[in-house]
Every structure is written in structure tokens, then in C-alpha cells.
Structure 1
Amino acid sequence: MSAIEALYIFDEHNTPLLEHTYIGRPPASSTLLPLYLAHADPRPSLIYLPDTNPPTLLYSIIQDQLLLLCPCSSDTEPLQVLEFLHRVADVLEDFLGSPLLASKIEASYDVVAQLLNEMVDGGIIACTEPNALRDVVDAPNFIKSLLGGVGLPSSTPSSLTPSAASFSLAGRPSPRLGPANTAPVSSTVPWRRANVRHTSNEMYVDIVETLEVTMSPSGRPLSAIANGTIAFTAKVSGVPDLILQLACPGGIQNAVSLPVFHPCVRLNRWKERPGELSFVPPDGRFVLAGYEVDLLGPAALDSFSTSATVKSLPKINIPATVSVHPSLGPSGSDFEVTLQLNPRFIGKSSHPGPGSGPKGGLGRGMSAPGFSSSGTTASPAIEEMVVHVPLPASVKSIADLRVLRGNGDAGYAPGDESIEWRISSKEIALLMSQDRGGGVGATATLRGTVIGEEEDSSELEPVSFSASTYDYNEDSPSKADKPRTKPQSTDNKRNKVLMPSCATLSFSVKGWLASGIKVESLNLDQKRSKGLGGGVTPYKGVKYMCVSRRGVEARC
């Protein structure tokens, strides 16, 4: 079993914020930090330090620019220690608020010390669930005020017990926050607080997928992976027992791979009935599960080597694709970036507003006729789209950067590493409205000219001197008297090196998931649930979102 010897936290300037020792005499933070910084970026999460006494394994994570280090001098389970560091960061965010800042830790050293003592006992990881920690650790004052304002308990049950009462110098007990006969109450479920009460019982499911797609120069998808996260928010009194049913075209068991679950999920139920999640949720918002989906399918690799026609190649249905066409123009110094929008993602239809008819055109600040920026499950809509075009380091500037077809703002300044082309949701709606149909979708094009560094004298053609003489004739100059011109092929070769080699897309789509996964039902098991009250039906809501942060990449 892994033993946690110490925990060190540093701020963004590598100044020590906290040193908490659990067992033994581990190396000090002043010794470990220089050894950690001696490694070049990106620094690994696990570093072996043989020069320390004794030799130490140093685990590290970075959370909101804060550095967390954990030294171990004995054999440990690496994943367990790294998971512990992530749990520490999550618990501190839950108690102190997100993002995790150095000032928050400095203002709540007492709370942080209590949390670290409860999470590890004698070097052994004990309790890392935020809900369970709230039963034994008081939240900071500003968090108490926040919880009280939204109807949640602002004090933990441990602070309401007689044992928590303190005595004044006169020997009289101080005023208590609860009745004298209150007994300590602990939850039977490790990840859920005891005596949870809510005035409004609500449950929300948010499924967010991140899209990673790589396209070949011919437009064929080489890789397409969707990583999903199921975030659950439970604001239900008592101890609810829930059943969440997921569905997917082709079956969950065939689509989902590498699933991960919160400890509250009953794994045997998932194995017996894939797609069914049975669990008792923690109170509040938490990550219920995560998964990965290969959008090309398991037979994609075989089709790449056996398919001879374009129609037989695997296809994916994504909101937009991008392609780069380099070495255009007489000298090969121009390039074009083409954005192709999927006509399916047009958003929710709405009635045209005043001034949005064919005669009035599209006014400034108004949405396109027949379109709105909000997306639904039936009509998903693309939010703001950003196209990034990385440039080689030898590119000095971009001349005549313009949008030939479509809308959007393309930005570039001399010295930038990439071109950023932004298209807002309103401009996307306008492009969709101008599409003439046919199922092709709208198209937008960006064009520019690359300018490289100044030519070096070494790159110029050598000049040879000869002892021969030539007759001078002013009326008919000889061939040697004509000015030399650089061959056009030389410019083409030089400009080819300056061309962009790929482009990436960033966007978000509401109401749509690339994997096709959806929530079939969310039910409350009345027989297993306790403390909710008869006849109470919690409100249920489901949202879907697909996000790409430079995830769709097209190579050329």
C-alpha cells in the first residue's frame, strides 16, 4: 500500500505555501524544489531523485498554476499517489472555491490543515470524498454564507453536537448551535453527507464530449475520438437511489470503451445491463462517469488498407471541416483555407423578426432570417467557430489576408505563430441562410500571401568572372549584357517552405453529441430511497454539448 509521507504546495512564483508532513522525515521542500525545476519543461509527473538521502520518488501535479509535490522514499503505487494529489486539488476547490488561488489557501490555513489531516491517517489515504469531509470539517466563513444563501446547511453536524461546545473562563458553557441532546450523526454512505435537506428537489445530467479528429490531405479521416464526461447534479433530500439509462445507436456495449465511474456506481449492474447506471449520488455536483468512443469504428484500420474507392472509406458526421490549399499564385506564395459547414447544424428555427426580410437584409446585431443562436437536440447549433492556421517559424509576415467568401474576422500580426479566423454564431447563421440547398452546406474561404525572411547572400546565385572580352554594341545588346533574373522555380521552392501545413477547428455545439449517446430515462427507486417523502417527484433536466478545442485538424 502506498504511503503518503508529505505534501508541499507552491504558488505560481514557486514560493512555498504549505508543508504538511505525515510520516518519517522526508526531504524538505527547499531541497526538492530545485531538483524538480532542474528538469526541462514539460516536466513528468514522476521524477526519480537518486541524489537525495534516501533516494526519493517525487510526484507532482499543477492545478491553477499551483504546484503540488509529494515525495515517497519507499515502493508505492504511482497511480494511487497521483490520484491522491488530484483528490487534494478537488477537495480544496470544493471547500475554498474555484479557481484554486494562493490567497485562498493563505486565508484558510486552519481549514486546509483539517482537510489534510482527515484525508491521510498515518501516511495511509483515508477519506477523500468532499461530502464525507463536510461532516467533520467546517467550511470557511464565506462558504458558510454562500451555502446558507442557497438553502444548504451552513454548519456541519459535528459543530452541533455537545462535544463541540466550548467553555468560557467562568466555567459556563458557551451558547450552542443545536439542541443539547443532539447525537453525532455520520452518513452510512461514505460519499454522501448525513441529513441532506433541500427545499426544491432537482436532478440534472450534463453530458459533455470533446472531439479529436485528424483528417488527411485528401479529406479522409485518419482518427476520430470522442471523450465524454457525464456530470451529475443531485439536489435531493434524504438518500435517493437512482437509475440512469443510457442508449446509443448500435448499443452502448459496442460504442463505449474505457469507461470510468464514480465509486457510487454499482459496477455489477453495469456489467449485467450495459448502459444502466444504478447509484446513490453525492450531494451536489460531481462527475458520474467518463468514456471514450471511436467514431470510425473498430474496422476503420482495415478499411484504410483494403478500400479502393472513396465511397467505401469511413465517414464521420461532424459540424464542420477545414482544408488548406498551399502554393497558389504565379510564385506559389498564396494559400487558401476553406471552411465547410454541415447543413444539419442550423440551430432552432424561429420566425423572422422585423427588418429581417429579403428587402431589409440582415441588420447589425440581428440574427439571420429563420435562424437563432440557441441549439436544441432536434436542431443543434454551432457556437462561435475559430480556425487556427499554424505558420512556420521562417514566416516573417502575411500580406493581403482577406476573407474571399463568407464572414468572420481574420487576425494576424507580424511575429504571431498562427492566423486566427473567428466566425460568430450570427455569421454562421447568415452563411447557413445563404446556402442554396443540395445537402452540401455553406462554405467560407480565407486567402493570404506569405512573406519570408530577407534573402541571405549565401542563397543568391554565385557570380563567376571570366577573362573573355565581349564587344559592346549599344543598338543590339548581347545576351550577356541583359540583366539576370532569378528562375521562377527558385521562388516556388522557397515559398513552399513557408506554406502552412495544417489547420485546426475550435467550436462548441449545444444539443448534440458526436457519439450519439443519449439519456433514455432517469428514475428514482422509491423502494430503496430514504428520507425523500411520499409523493415527491424530483425535477429532471438533461443537456448535451460537444466541444472542440483545436480538436479537428486537417493536414496538407
Structure 2
Amino acid sequence: MSTVEALYIFDEHNTPLLEHSYVGRPPASSTLLPLYLSHAAPRPSLIYLPNTNPATLLYSVIQDQLLFLCPCSSDTEPLQVLEFLHRVADVLEDFLGSPLLASKIEAHYDVVAQLLNEMVDGGIIACTEPNALRDVVDAPNFIKSLLGGVGLPSSTPSSLTPSATPFSLASRPSPRLGPTNTPQATSSVPWRRANVRHTSNEMYVDIVETLEVTLSPSGRPLSAIANGTVAFTAKVSGVPDLILQLGCPGGVQNAVALPVFHPCVRLNRWKERPGELSFVPPDGRFVLAGYEVDLLGPAALDAFSTSASAKSSPKLNIPATVSVHPSLGPSASDFEVRLQLNPRFTGKSPAPNSSSTGGKGGLGRGISGAGFSSSGTTAAPAIEEMAVHIPLPVGVRNIADLRVLKGNGDASYSPGDRSIEWHISSREISLLMSQDRGGGVGATATLRGTVIGQEDETAESEPAPFATGTYDYDDEQTPSQQEKTKTEPRKIDYAKRNKVLMPSCATVSFSVKGWLASGIKVESLNLDHKRSKGLGSGVTPYKGVKYLCVSRRGVEARC
């Protein structure tokens, strides 16, 4: 069992905000911080400090520019301590609000101290679930502080006696100033609050996937990975027992790799029936599961080694691809970046789809806990604002005649920048899609520019050197052929010099609503009335589902 000796929190200027000791006499923050900063950035999450007495392992996590340090002088499980630090940051963010700022910790130190005492008992990690902590720690609230200041009760509803009513102040208990002998209502489920009540019962499923695709110079996919997150929002009274069924072409068991689950998920049910998640959810929004999908499939490596034609190579159905064409023009100083859009992602549905709006008891698309807009459905996925990032070599001093030859968008570059940014808005994407003549090829946008190196900038101010080399002429060659032979070495020099100035790759960023690269979808979300408690007979929660695929410079083409 890992022992947490202390927790230190510093702000963005490395000023100590909080020092909380759990067991023993750990090194002070003034001792650990210089030793931590002495390591060059980026600093690892685990640093061994042999010069302290005793030798100490220092764990660190940075979130919202706040530094969390945890020293351990005994044998510990590294992943458990690091996970504890992440849980501390998440719990503080849940209680104090996002983003987590130094001013919030300073203003609510009493709440932070209570949370840290509940999360660790005698150095042993105890309770780290925000829902369970809300039963024993009151979240900071202006109304509660106001009521407590005038002598009215400021306790949470879970600490009230069953006989208390909202209209009888005499039946309410007096404000808690310290420990009492009154038994406090606690939940039998560790990750869920007790006595959860909601006026409108709602459940939302948001599946978000991030794309990581690498394309060869020929456009052939070398790797394609989709990392998915299943976010769940439960606003249901009582203790609901839910069953979420996921499906995809070929079966979930063949597509999903490396799945991870929230502790509320019953793992035996998933092993017996892959794709079926049975769980009692925490109250509010949480991450239900995560997974990884290889979009090229398990046979991709064999296809790479045995395939001789492009027709038999693995195919990808992604919203956009990019390609870089260097060394163009008479002096080989021009380059082109071509963006190919998939015609499927126009955001227009050929026919109205009745499943695009939600209703009581159905899987709706109209509302989502993630706050996505209503545009983009499974029938008509829509590409949001797109950006192409083009890194440049160090030797490039400027880009001349940067222009969009075909398509729309705004390409920006300033002399001395290390990259070119090409932005295309959703409105411009729709206009570009409308100009597509069909045939299943999709729309194309082209960006062209000319690289200028340091030698090119100084060439005009320096006199042209005389050629000192000799040339061998053939008596049978005409004067024009002899002149061509003299100029060929000069062209080769230009090509070699400009080759090192050419961009070698480009990445695409975008987001698509209503579509997932893996093909995973929610087939059903049901409430087990027999195992659920406190919901009430005849109550059917509202259900909503949203899909989102994101690429943050994830689609990369090399040349």
C-alpha cells in the first residue's frame, strides 16, 4: 500500500499555496522545490532525490499551471501516487470550479483542508470520489455562507433529518459547528452521493474520438489510431442501474483495444458480453470508459509488406487528407499543399431523419451534456473549422507569393515564423463542397508559395561571381545545345539548395459532429427498473447521444 507523506501546491510563479502533511516528518516545500526546479524542462513526473535525508521520491503533476508535489521516502506504487495527484486536482476543480486558480484555493482553504483530510487517512489513500466527498464536505457557496452568517442552517440536504420540511424552520437541525452524534445519511455506493434528487431526470452519452493518422508521400496510410472517450452525464434521482449497449461493424470485441473503465462498470458483464456496460453511475458528469481502435485493422502490416499496388493497400474514410508537393517551378523553389475533402462530410442530409431529435425514452440528438451545437448528425456529419499547419525548416527566411490557388481560406505567415497556418471556416468548407462536381472524389483546395532562404536575400546585393569551371563541348553540338549544357549545372545547384528549404510535412486539424472514425455507436441505453432504487414508478428518463471526432494536427502527411 502506497503511503502519501505530504502534499504541496504551488502557483504558476512557484509560490507556495498549501502545505499539508499526512504522516512522519517529510522534507519541507522550501527544500523540495529547488531540487525539482534544478532538473531541466520538461521535468519527469517521478524524480529521485538521493541528497535528502532520507532519500525521497518526488512525484509531480501540473494542472492549470498549478504544481502538485508529493514526496515519498518509502517503497510505493508510482502509478497509484500519480493517480492520487490527478484525483486531487480533479476533486479541487469539481468543488472550486474550472479552471483551477490559485485565488480559489486561497479563498476556500477550509474546504480544501477538509477534502485533503478525507482523501487520505494516516498516509493511506482513502476516498477520492467527488460524489462521496460531497456527502461529508460542503462545497463553497455564497448562499450557504449568507445563511450561516444570519444563524440559519447551511448544511447540505443529505445531512438533514427525514422529518425536516422546506417550510418548517423549527424542524431543521441547528447549523453544524463540530462533530455531532446524529448519524449522517451515506450512500451504499462509494462513487455516488446519498439522497440524490432531480426535478427532470436526464441521461446523456457523449462519445469523443481523437484521430492520429500518418500518411506516406504517396498518400498511403502508415498508421491510423482513434482514441475514444465515453463521457456520461447522469441527472437521475435515487440509485439508477443502467445498461449501455455499444456496437460497431465487425463487433466491438474485434475493434476496441485497451479498454479502460470507471470503477462503477461491472467488468464481468463486459467480459461475458463485449460491448455491454452495466453500471450504477455517479451523479453528474464523468468519464465512463476509454478505448483505442486501429483503423487499419490487424492485417495492415501484412498488407504493407505484401501489397504491390495501391488498390490493395488499406483504405481510410476520414474527412480530409493533405499532401505536400515540393521543389516546383523553374528554380525548384515553389511548393504546393493540396487539401482533399471527403464528399461524405457535407453536413446535408438527403432526407429528413426522424432520429435526429430526441424524445422521452428515446436516444435523442437534440441535447447533449457536452454542449455541442445542433448541426451535424449521424445521417449528415459536418466538418467544423479546419486548419492546416505547415512546419518550415530553419533555413527559411521568408515565403514569397503565398496564395490559395484553388478553394478558400486564409493563409497567414510572417517573416521569421517557423510555420504557415491555413485556416478554412465552416462556411468556406460548405461553399467549397457545393462546387464539387461529384464522382466521389470530393473537393480540393490548393495553397502555393515560394521559399526564400538567407542566400536568396543577399544574392541581389552581392556581385555575380565569374564561373571558373571548364566545360567540354562536342564539335557536333549546335550552339543552342552547348548553351544548354553550360546552364544545366546551374539548375542542379538551385534544386539542391532549395531542396533543404522545402516543407517536409503538413498536418490537418478539424472536428466533425455526428461521426466517429471507428464506427462505434450507441445501440441502446436502458434503465433496469428491478435493480434501480428511488426513481419512482412510471418515470422514464430523457436520453441523449452525441458523437464528435477531433483531429488536433492529427492527420499528418509526409513527403
Structure 1 and Structure 2 fold alike (TM over 0.5):
yes
Deviation at 1:155, TM superposition (A): 4.4
User: Letter of the aligned partner of 2:377 in structure 1?
Assistant: T
Structure 1 residue 188 corresponds to structure 2 residue 188: yes
Corresponding residue for residue 217 of structure 2: 217
Partners in 1 of 2:154 and 2:448 — Cα distance? 58
Structure 2 letter corresponding to 1:538: P
The answer to whether the 8 A contact 1:160-1:176 is kept is no
The CA deviation string for residues 83-117 of structure 1, in whole angstroms up to 9 with x for no partner, is 00110011001000011111111111110000000
Counterparts of 1:368-447 in structure 2, within 5 Å, are: 374-447=375-448
TM-score by structure 1 length? 0.86
Counterpart pick for 1:490 among 470, 493, 500: 493
Residue pair 1:348, 1:376 contacting (<8 A) in 2 also: no
1:408 Cα shift?
0.3
Separation in structure 2 between the aligned mates of residue 386 and residue 110 of structure 1, nearest angstrom: 45
- Give CA deviations for 1:462-519 in whole Å, capped at 9, x if unaligned: 9899xxxxxxxxxxxxx9xxx9999232222111111100000000000000000000
Q: What displacement does 1:176 show?
A: 4.6
Task: Tell me the amino acid that sits aligned with residue 58 of structure 2.
Answer: L
Q: CA deviation at 1:520?
A: 0.4
| Per-residue Cα deviation, 1:258-286 (whole angstroms, up to 9, x for no partner) | 00000000000000000000000000000
Counterpart residue type for residue 36 of structure 1: Y
Code of the aligned partner of 1:131 = N
Alignment of 1:203 onto 2:206: no
Instruction: Determine the structure 2 residue equivalent to 1:238.
Output: 238
The equivalent of 2:343 in structure 1 is 343
CA distance in 1, matches of 2:414, 2:526: 55
Name the structure 1 match of 2:324: 324
Residues in 1 aligned to 2:386 and 2:491: alpha-carbon distance in whole angstroms: 38
Helix, strand or coil at the partner of 2:500: helix
1:327-348: CA deviation from partner (whole Å, max 9, x where unpaired): 1111111100000000000102
Q: 1:69-468 maps to which residues of 2 (within 5 A)? A: 69-142=69-142, 155-157=155-157, 159-160=159-160, 175-176=174-175, 183-349=183-349, 374-454=375-455
Alpha-carbon displacement from aligned partner over 1:436-461 (angstroms, at most 9, x marks no partner): 0000000000000111124789x999
SS at match of 1:540: strand
- SS of aligned partner of 1:493: helix
Name 1:501's counterpart in structure 2. 504
| Alpha-carbon distance in structure 1 between the residues aligned to 2:538 and 2:160 | 31
Hey, what's the Cα distance between the residues in 2 that align with 1:101 and 1:379? 40
Identify if the C-alpha distance between structure 1 residues 154 and 86 changes in structure 2 by more than 3 Å, giving closer, same or farther.
Answer: farther
> How far does residue 384 in structure 1 lie from its aligned partner after superposition?
0.3
Output the CA distance in 2 between the equivalents of 1:301 and 1:444.
Answer: 31
| Cα distance in 2, alignment partners of residues 102 and 333 from structure 1 | 51
- C-alpha change, 1:515 and 1:155, in structure 2 (3 Å) is farther
Per-residue CA deviation, residues 363-419 of structure 1 (Å, 9 max, x unaligned), is xxxxxxxxx992111010100000000011111111110000000000111121110
Aligned to 1:469: none
Structure 2 residues without counterparts, runs of 5 or longer? 146-152, 163-171, 352-372, 469-481
Given that 2:159 and 2:184 are in contact with CA atoms closer than 8 Å, whether structure 1 keeps it comes out as: no
Read off the aligned partner of 1:300 and give its amino acid letter: A
> CA–CA distance in 2 between the matches of 1:552 and 1:373?
26
Shift in alpha-carbon separation, 1:24–1:462, aligned structure 2, 3 A: farther
Which position in structure 2 is the counterpart of 1:46? 46
State yes or no: 1:541 paired with 2:534: no
The question of whether the paired residues in 2 share the 8 Å contact of 1:348 and 1:373 is answered with: no
Q: Is the contact made by 1:135 and 1:157 (CA closer than 8 Å) also made in structure 2?
A: no
How has the CA–CA distance of structure 1 residues 101 and 452 changed in structure 2, closer, same or farther, with 3 Å as cutoff? same
Residue 142 of structure 1 and its aligned partner are, at CA, apart by 4.3
Cα distance in structure 2, aligned partners of 1:205 and 1:494: 54
Given that 1:61 and 1:85 are in contact with CA atoms closer than 8 Å, whether structure 2 keeps it comes out as yes
SS at match of 2:271: helix
Q: 2:517 aligns with which of 514, 529, 544?
A: 514
Distance 1:159 1:239, change over 3 A: closer
* Mapped partners of 1:289, 1:261: distance in 2: 4
Return the alpha-carbon distance in structure 2 between the equivalents of residues 422 and 462 of structure 1.
Answer: 43
Q: Match for 1:449: what amino acid?
A: T
Deviation per residue, 1:139-190 (Å, 9 max, x gap) = 0124969xxxxxxx9843565469xxxxxxxxxx99459xx99741000000
For each residue in 1:294-324, what CA deviation from the matched residue of structure 2 results, as whole angstroms up to 9, or x when unmatched? 0001111111001111111111110000000
* Number of residue-to-residue matches in the alignment: 501
Q: Once the 2 structures are TM-superposed, how far is the Cα of residue 11 of structure 1 from its aligned partner?
A: 0.7
Give the letter aligned to residue 434 of structure 2.
Answer: S
Q: Output one character per residue of 1:222-252: Cα deviation in whole Å (capped at 9) or x when no partner.
A: 1100000000000000000000000010000
Whole-Å Cα distance in 1 between the matches of residues 244 and 155 of structure 2?
31
* CA–CA separation in structure 1 for the residues paired with 2:181 and 2:24: 42
Q: In the alignment, what sits opposite 2:22?
A: 22
Change (3 A) 1:461 1:39: farther
Is the 8 Å Cα contact of residues 348 and 374 (structure 1) preserved in structure 2?
no
Q: TM-score, normalised by structure 2?
A: 0.85
Q: Report the Cα offset of residue 349 of structure 1.
A: 4.3
- SS of residue paired to 2:503: coil
Contact preservation (8 Å) 1:161, 1:183: no
CA contact (8 A) 1:157 1:185 kept: no
Distance in 1, matches of 2:154 and 2:65, equals 30
Deviation at 1:50, TM superposition (A): 1.0
Secondary structure of the 1:487 match is helix
Change (3 A) 1:310 1:25: same
Deviation string for 1:58-83 (max 9, x for gaps)?
A: 11111011111111111111110110
Q: Distance in 1 between matches of 2:487 and 2:269?
A: 81
RMSD between aligned residues? 2.8
The 1:236–1:158 alpha-carbon spacing in structure 2 relative to 1, beyond 3 Å, is closer
Q: State the percentage of identical aligned residues.
A: 85
Paired with 2:374 and 2:523, the residues of 1 have a C-alpha distance of: 26
1:527 to 527, 530, 553: 530
Give the whole-Å Cα distance in 2 for the aligned partners of 1:460 and 1:205: 69
